[in-house]
Structure 1
Amino acid sequence: MMAARNPGVAPLVEDGMTRLRGTLIAAAVPLFLLTACAQSAANSAAGAPGPLEKAATSPQGAGDLVLRVEHVGGFVPVEHVAGALPSVSVYGDGRVITNGPVPAIYPGAALPNVQVQTISPAQLRQLVEQGEQAGVKSGADFGRPNVADAPATRVTVVTAAGPQTVSAEALSEAQASDPMLTADQRAARTKLSAYVDTLVSLSSAEGMPAAVAYQPQELAAITRTWVAPGDSIENPEMAWPGPALPGETLNANTGLGCVVVTGADQDKVLAVAKDATAITPWTHGGKKWSITFRPLLPDEKGCAALKGDR
């Protein structure tokens, strides 16, 4: 059972499922509120390419995606699915963007804790090669195990032959002896699982530079009509300082909307949201709204990035 929210020190959790749900339960003082200067200084100190610098030997542009692990689907609330951040994303300039550790409190902070580190071009090439060896090739068969409601693990590796994407259902939940899987499928899943572990643990690997705050160019706010959570925790209202809600339709079947804030609007939203929780009622236009905040990654643009198969 999660502890009630309080200003004291809370234990940190950062397992795979917590990373998946990092958008809802986040650090009480989100790291991406730190200044961009801190990020640049840390990168320089580590001797790593800066956020806008292309790694000289990378075939990709600085902001182009090269590697990604994400979890899609599963039996979770729709707003969590739309707002979920990938477990890890690696870009052409070596940036590694992940969910940082979060305190195990309820309700969690409104803003997620997103961190960035940088690896060398040689490390990036090695990870791409490992992905090819692990069987990340579009069309690869990982079978369908006898597990219900578990998310699928989707892995993307951009190789010389182009982007390769595979998806394995219940990769960490299925039993090795699952009768629905063939011997070849089990072997393929074992290799893929080991590669996923390598990527997901990259942020804490030996020799990695200290993580700094990820500074998003765009911050998406996923909106829905506020519904009281049914607990006894006080939920003070906050006035929404950004663009008009609910924004554009993100999913007509679920009633989710989406607005993107940038520049001065983003600064105003962050200044207020740092004191909000995941269940804060936001007031705008005479209505109350629930908001899930989702920093957009370098390869994502606008609310359209949060649509589709997630």
Structure 2
Amino acid sequence: MRPARPLTVRFVLVAVAVLAVACQSPPAPPSGKAVALRVELYGGGPLPPGWVTFPEFVLYGDRTLITADGDAPREYHLTEAEFDRVYGRARSAGLATGRTFDEQSPDAPVLEVVFGHDTGRAVTRVTAPDRKSSGDAGAIVRAVALNPDTDLESPHERYRPERVAVVAGASSGAPTGPRWPLRPLAEGTPLNAGRCAVYAAAEVRDIRSDTTWTSGGTAYHVRLRPLLPDEDDCAALARG
């Protein structure tokens, strides 16, 4: 008969086993306004001066989901089941570990996915994303594609940001357009070969995106970019 292990040894072995199981547990979602899932598609090549992108959608730990919809992004408040379905699908696709799928196509679009959890985040990039492709890259593209009929059954409203970024690109030629009514556009923060400044949403409510203004003797093409709950300033809008 084999002698019984000492109690302390058995205790250590059990503790190690419990720790191993805990380490293998899937990551838990973040809480509050921390990003749980952010999906953004960048076009191939550099952005034109003054351009800035908006994510396909961003899901937060408090189950708020904001999706792109032209000039009027939508805001949803998902049920627990809806959140678990969207977040769980991304987790099952292996997005808790950041990866890069590079097709060696410099002018191809890039899908960037940020997967947030309770201890950090992972970033995955897929060059030339294709929902029909096989392998892990195709599975990721499919996993982060929202299905309005099953994923977004909750009612939505127009997203109303507290702050808006004004991104301006200087135009060539003679100054055209009305005079810019706020602080000079040239004083903004450099961003994508243009200038960016952040205002309270009420300050720019009468300004339309994709319009031309004159500021300091220069014509600027101006675009408005609503800031998301996790975006503090213009630096958050830098590509990639």
TM-score range relative to shorter protein: 0.7 to 0.9
Identical residues among aligned pairs (%)? 25
Q: 1:134 aligns with which of 84, 89, 93?
A: 93
Structure 2 CA distance for aligned equivalents of residues 223 and 91 of structure 1: 29
What are the residue-to-residue correspondences of 1:254-273 with 2, within 5 Å?
A: 255-262=193-200, 266-273=201-208
Name the CA shift for 1:227/1:113 in 2 (closer, same or farther; >3 Å).
farther
Q: 2:135 aligns with which of 176, 181, 187?
A: 187
**Greater Cα radius of gyration, structure 1 or 2:** 2
Secondary structure of 1:246 counterpart: helix
> Which structure carries more strand by proportion?
2
Q: 1:220 aligns with which of 152, 165, 183?
A: 165
**Which residue number in structure 1 is paired with residue 40 of structure 2?**
70
Does residue 68 of structure 2 align to residue 99 of structure 1? Answer: yes
Structure 1 CA distance for aligned equivalents of residues 75 and 98 of structure 2: 31
What CA deviation, in whole Å up to 9, does each residue of 1:41-67 have, x standing for no partner? xxxxxxxxxxxxxxxx96411x22111
Q: Using the TM superposition, give the Cα deviation of residue 217 of structure 1 relative to its aligned residue in structure 2, in angstroms.
A: 1.3
Root-mean-square deviation (CA), in Å? 2.8
Secondary structure of 2:144 counterpart: helix
**Which residue number in structure 2 is paired with residue 244 of structure 1?**
184
Contact 2:29 2:118 in 1 (8 A): no
Structure 2 CA distance for aligned equivalents of residues 141 and 288 of structure 1: 40
What CA deviation, in whole Å up to 9, does each residue of 1:108-147 have, x standing for no partner? xxxx2211111013322332222121121334353x2254
What CA deviation, in whole Å up to 9, does each residue of 1:48-87 have, x standing for no partner? xxxxxxxxx96411x221111101351353347x510000
Which amino acid is the alignment partner of residue 84 of structure 1? T
Contact 2:82 2:152 in 1 (8 A): no
Q: Which structure 1 segments of 5+ residues have no match?
A: 1-56, 103-111, 177-185, 229-235
**Which residue number in structure 2 is paired with residue 60 of structure 1?**
31
Which amino acid is the alignment partner of residue 143 of structure 2? Y
Structure 1 CA distance for aligned equivalents of residues 223 and 144 of structure 2: 27
Q: Using the TM superposition, give the Cα deviation of residue 213 of structure 1 relative to its aligned residue in structure 2, in angstroms.
A: 1.2
Structure 2 CA distance for aligned equivalents of residues 294 and 187 of structure 1: 35
Contact 1:239 1:284 in 2 (8 A): yes
Name the CA shift for 1:242/1:129 in 2 (closer, same or farther; >3 Å).
same
Name the CA shift for 1:79/1:89 in 2 (closer, same or farther; >3 Å).
farther
Q: Which structure 2 segments of 5+ residues have no match?
A: 1-27
Q: 2:213 aligns with which of 254, 273, 282?
A: 282
Q: Using the TM superposition, give the Cα deviation of residue 168 of structure 1 relative to its aligned residue in structure 2, in angstroms.
A: 0.8
Q: Using the TM superposition, give the Cα deviation of residue 94 of structure 1 relative to its aligned residue in structure 2, in angstroms.
A: 1.4
Contact 2:86 2:151 in 1 (8 A): no
**Which residue number in structure 1 is paired with residue 84 of structure 2?**
125
Q: What TM-score do you get using the length of structure 1 for normalisation? A: 0.60
Structure 2 CA distance for aligned equivalents of residues 291 and 87 of structure 1: 22
What CA deviation, in whole Å up to 9, does each residue of 1:227-263 have, x standing for no partner? 47xxxxxxx8233222321233324xx631111111x
Name the CA shift for 1:122/1:291 in 2 (closer, same or farther; >3 Å).
same
Name the CA shift for 1:140/1:289 in 2 (closer, same or farther; >3 Å).
closer
Structure 2 CA distance for aligned equivalents of residues 129 and 206 of structure 1: 12
Secondary structure of 2:160 counterpart: coil
Structure 1 CA distance for aligned equivalents of residues 119 and 29 of structure 2: 14
Does residue 240 of structure 2 align to residue 292 of structure 1? Answer: no
